[in-house]
Amino acid sequence: MAGCWREYDVVVVGGGPTGCVAAKTAARLGVSVLLVDKKLEPGTPVECAEAVGREVFEKLGIPVQERWIAARIKGIRLVAPNGVGIRLEERSTLKSKVGYVLERKIFEKDLLAFAIREGAETLLGAYVYDVVMDGKSVKGVRVRFRGETREIGAKVVIGADGISSGVGRLAGLDTTLRPDQVEAGAQYEMVGVDLEDSETLEFYFGSKIAPGGYAWIFPKGEDTANVGLGVVPTLASGNAWHYLDKFVSTQAKLKKAQVLEINFGGIPGSEPVKKSVAPGLLLAGDAARHADPLTGGGIANGMLAGSMAAETAVKAVQAGDTSEESLMEYERSWRREFGKKLEKTFRIRKVLQELSDEDLNRLAEALKARGDVEELSSMGIVRTLFKLKPQILFKLKDLI
């Protein structure tokens, strides 16, 4: 391409887990790859609670490194507004939900190193401000780098640039998020936490705790934890920091804890984008709204999507066909893998947001009384909720 600084088969925008896996996979399959990220160092700042299930590593054949693991997780505890807690142990229904709390900075840097060792090149500290178009086809990106602008050619661009993704929007894809589809997240990493169980993730629900979302305490060691929450701004009477400070002040286990690190960011809570593919372009991870709308967790789906996007991109490059029709194989792949589940959990999220604290308390007490782990799945919760509140049937009837 005339006037380009450099040209590659695949350019990946975004150096998080999604982008790193995409770059690693594409490079391993034998094409030229450049990963571009606006950050100077991957994994900073931390923008999530750092929990991920172990299943994704098994699926992708990525050996988990001990240096990534802050804590091994064997259970989950859900706490209702009235304090009633439900514990989910590591059994068949939880295989994909338990795993690790990561040291995200180390994890992401190692993933990027894996990509580099496979042959990918990197351009860090470079902001993508536009895409190069040839008619309706994406043919590269334009970046600002060290006070200069550069044009980088690509046969395929993979947009893995997160919740605020500009790549898809610049190429004409609808990545709009309504105010009620994004949570404002705030988190402290705290030391001096009086953890009763360092192998359990705790989730706290209630309109006074985290309107539209939930608060969490995720252990990272014997006395260290990520303590945070996400709130839907349209449902909240204050900002996320207001609710987080209030939550911290009410937890006995945090009475002697002090803040080690502060993090914040947006948490997507929408269904996936209607379309994640355009000629010469694929969107993956948070850029395609692949995070679970119910939990906000996006690492696992993002890594899977990054791998699938790379495989499709390489096939298209090798076939000399980067048309939308050729790249649609990727969209079909991720929708088969986790798309239907995301659509279901989005609908469950909407219904749960409509429940009062009293409804949540009744649901927790009913689930606790059952004591059946098989019922403590998303569908089990829906069935129990229907028995308590039959009027929601018309909203979720095809899920029961």
What would the pLDDT profile of 211-226 be if each residue is shown by its tens digit? 999 999 999 998 999 9
pLDDT of residue 91: 52
Confidence at residue 74, expressed as pLDDT on a 0 to 100 scale: 87
> Which class does domain 72-98+179-268 fall in?
alpha beta
Q: Which two tokens stand for residue 109?
A: 């840097």
List the domain boundaries for the chain: 6-50+104-177+271-347, 72-98+179-268, 355-399
* Predicted model pTM: 0.91
pLDDT digits (tens, 9 = 90+) for 296-316: 889 999 999 999 999 999 999
| 6-50+104-177+271-347 to CATH, choices 3.90.1150.10, 3.40.50.2300, 3.50.50.60, 3.30.460.30 | 3.50.50.60
Greater pLDDT, 374 or 360: 360
Per DSSP, the residues of 176-230 read ---GGGEEEEEEEEEES---S-TTEEEEE--TTTSTTSEEEEEE-SSSEEEEEEE
**Phi, psi of 353, deg, nearest 5:** -70, -20
pLDDT at 368: 73
Greatest distance between any 2 Cα atoms in the chain? 69
pLDDT digit string, tens, across residues 271-288: 999 999 999 999 999 999
Q: Please, which residues have CB within 8 angstroms of residue 17's CB and are 6 or more apart in sequence?
A: 107, 108, 111, 285, 299, 302, 303, 306
Provide the pLDDT confidence category of residue 398 given band limits of 50, 70 and 90: low
Mind listing the pLDDT tens digit for each residue in 81-110? Answer: 999 888 876 554 445 556 899 999 999 999
Q: How far apart are CA 25 and CA 22, in angstroms?
A: 5
